[in-house]
A and B are shown apart, each in its own frame.
Chain A
């Protein structure tokens, strides 16, 4: 039972067909001969499909190796371009609940490129404060290099007020980037309507292959390239284009945006069933992120995230895994070591509370049976994980060292 679609979702039949079809053919899209032209046509067809799916102009689609590269390119590229135009632009207004692809990039720019990160506060659901954003901009608009706030959060599924964020930055000519890796394919996302300057999307979160993504870059946006070479992709992102992956990405994008409304409704209903089931099975569980029982677009339809008091997320993950249910603690790992999630901490949770996090995410292969299996396995897993959580703190094993002398 796979409940970790936010990590990666199985490849769709159409994407797999496109991928294998193109893998069997050859040709560098940058070559000028027949096979090059053939490959170029596949790439350009795909570019148009993806542009249509994301509400962008085809020339705004810059293919990358995935979401992480797209975020790096946007944040570094915008920062460098803006700072080079005016050296006083060094502030990056950023939400503290960003994916590490943005978070760590901003911190790197702080350490190495003289940037100053301004972490905007978020509320208990993880929604970034518009008042704080406006205050920070108005305090000194000329010092702001860029604003970066994700479209929807990868851990708790909360959707950010992207339109309002853009509206606050635009009058001052400040560019805005948004990481839409989780939102694209689950929510209606239009790059043109959003007014964003750059937006990151990824293939494997929507049923495409891993290793392909795109940064949408507005035509007037100035971006300093991170990767140099043959000058592909408007000279913004050099490197030979991966025709099979691009074709498969496009097939997945077409499919997912074509049936988006129905699938979002299906997943939203399943998600509400999951939330009710989890809370019914373990009344102590606390739903994190913005509740959205009426499907008003406040939360990703496939996301459910809880904290389970008194237990550690990794114990729960282990026990559910043992019971055949695959979930996630939602937080990033270093050498596999779980740390309390920065997203939950930013939302005001204590370390102890944040340790009990568990994320269940639904996708195109999810059914009622997945939810039923989770709800059936959860009570025992929770009871055991709680016992193990206690073991982590108060020791019941008496040894020489626990004697009073």
Chain B
């Protein structure tokens, strides 16, 4: 196969490319330039698309003996990832830009360009596994090393995208193994620190970065019954589950601390309430996609058992899910949790699993305790 290896300049993508070469594929390395201002050097685990990363990717390709190119996706990245990130926060939601990048950049913009140029697949250093059944249909599964498993951030890939994806690190027992393999292969990135944080926020201060991009307007803080209990300086500065920094004058009737239950950007309101109401029983998801062919229950609109995960490094929890049409006939994914769970906010992605298999995902539109009707707050 003709394989395009997306090379970030890190150790995972370098080893993934090496394995693709070793498997006999015709591999070309490509570094994605995502920043408009690439002239910076990396500090520690922060930053992306720096001259240093580009050079590291280049050196890895030299050692593997494959051609290397830099492709500029900065415009698409800005439109599809950065602007989307800002818009989601402005709408009171908590997005995951890495998933968005996988969905729209690595496995859309890059893949499309690769296919047009005659490649068959895009190879990355993600820890996840693609399995093909006897009919050539593909499934996405968790990686062998659950601690490094990245199937969550790939949960947004469709069957079409999976058909052209290659994740050679799938069966690696651990990250340490990958580093050792990199050292063995003479790849200089063997000991390069892992990258964390959001690549386009170089100092890691997401709040500060957002504050410059989103206009903040003072508004009301109301409780779960709709009574005004305080004022805020900008609804977007809050996150669901937050307790500190609410600066509420009067204590709650029961004297217990109050938490942010919901952010309503349209009304510029922040809803607070007792801790018990943070426990989510049910989530409704929009922008649903299936990682491979959807299971039979989906089309039948029947309920099915699954595990649901709502953040990249969160634990999966048992749930029942079904597809349901809303009043306008739009399909939504309704997920009811077996045990209530905290720390769920609209905008997050919920990924559904059965065993190691990723079924699909949806963006959480609402997440609530069934013991509280948000319509009480008008």
Are chains A and B native binding partners rather than an unrelated pairing?
A: yes
Residue in A closest to B36 when the chains form the complex, CB atoms: A337
Stretch in contact with the other chain, from B144-152, B153-161, B178-186, B188-196:
B153-161
Cross-chain contact of B362 among A318, A391, A397, A400 (Cβ < 8 A)? A400
* Chain B contact residues: helix, strand, loop or mixed: mixed
- Indicate if the CB atoms of A335 and B158 lie closer than 8 Å: no
Cβ-defined contact, B116 with A400, below 8 A:
no
Report the interface size for chain A: residues with CB under 8 A from the other chain.
28
The interface residues of chain A lying within 8 Å CB-to-CB of B74 are 337
Contacts of A318 in B (CB 8 A): 69, 117
Residue-wise interface mask of A (387-405) relative to B, using a CB-CB cutoff of 8 A (1 in contact, 0 not): 1101110011111110101
B112 lies within 8 A of A337 (CB): no
Tell me if B109 counts as interface (CB < 8 A to partner A). yes
B51 touches A335 (CB 8 A): yes
Q: Any chain A CB within 8 A of the CB of B268? A: no
Question: Does A384 reach chain B (CB closer than 8 Å)?
Answer: yes
- Residues in B neighbouring A335, C-beta threshold 8 A: 33, 38-39, 49-51, 54, 70
A1 to B38, CA, bound (A): 32
Report A-chain residues with C-beta under 8 Å of the C-beta of B362: 400
Q: Counting CB contacts under 8 A, is B323 at the interface?
A: no
Within 8 A of B (CB), among A296-334: 314-315, 318-319, 321, 333-334
The number of A-B residue pairs with CB atoms under 8 Å apart is 97
Task: Decide: B67 and A395 in contact? CB cutoff 8 A.
Answer: no
B1 within 8 A of A: no
Knowing A335-B70, A395-B108 are in contact, say whether A388-B117 is a contact too (CB < 8 A): yes
The reply to whether B38 and A337 form a contact with Cβ atoms under 8 Å apart is yes
A319 to B69 CA separation, bound complex (whole angstroms):
12
Q: A391-B109, A397-B107, A397-B112 are in contact. Are A319 and B117 (CB under 8 A)?
A: yes
* Contact residues in A for B49 (Cβ distance below 8 Å): 335
**Across-interface contacts of A334 in B (CB, < 8 A):** 38-39
B103 located at the interface, meaning its Cβ lies under 8 Å from any Cβ of chain A in the complex: yes
A residues in contact with B54, CB < 8 Å: 335-336
Contact yes or no, B116 A388, CB < 8 A: yes
Residues of chain B contacted by A400 (CB below 8 angstroms): 103, 156, 158, 287-289, 361-363
B330 / chain A contacts, CB cutoff of 8 Å? 405
Q: Contacts of A337 on B, CB cut-off 8 Å?
A: 33, 38, 70, 72, 74
- Report the Cα distance A335→B362, complex, angstroms: 37
CB of B224 to closest CB in A, whole Å? 28
Question: Complex formed: what's the CA distance from A396 to B111 in Å?
Answer: 10
- The smallest C-beta distance from A328 to any residue of chain B, in angstroms, reads 13
From residue A108, how far is it (CB to closest CB) to chain B in Å?
15
CA distance A336 to B104 in the complex (A): 22
Is B257 in the interface zone, CB < 8 Å from A?
no
Contact with A along B88-125 (1 / 0, CB 8 A): 00000000000010011001110111011110000000
* Interface 1/0 per residue, B213-228 and A, CB below 8 Å: 0000000000000000
Query: What residue in chain A is nearest B160 (Cβ atoms)?
Result: A397
CB of A385 within 8 A of chain B?
yes
Q: Is A397 in contact with B287, judged by CB distance below 8 angstroms?
A: no
A338 within 8 A of B: yes
Measured between beta carbons, the chain A residues less than 8 angstroms from B157 are 399
Contacts of B111 in A (CB 8 A): 397
Taking CB atoms, residues of chain A closer than 8 Å to B31 are: 336
- Asked if B286 is at the interface (CB within 8 A of a chain A CB), the reply is yes
Q: A315-B113, A337-B38, A384-B118 are in contact. Are A397 and B33 (CB under 8 A)?
A: no
A residues whose Cβ falls under 8 Å from a Cβ of B: 314-315, 318-319, 321, 333-339, 384-385, 387-388, 390-392, 395-401, 403, 405
> Can you list 16 A-B pairs, Cβ within 8 angstroms, ordered by A?
A314-B69, A314-B71, A334-B39, A335-B38, A335-B50, A335-B70, A336-B70, A338-B72, A387-B117, A388-B117, A391-B109, A395-B104, A398-B158, A401-B80, A403-B287, A405-B330
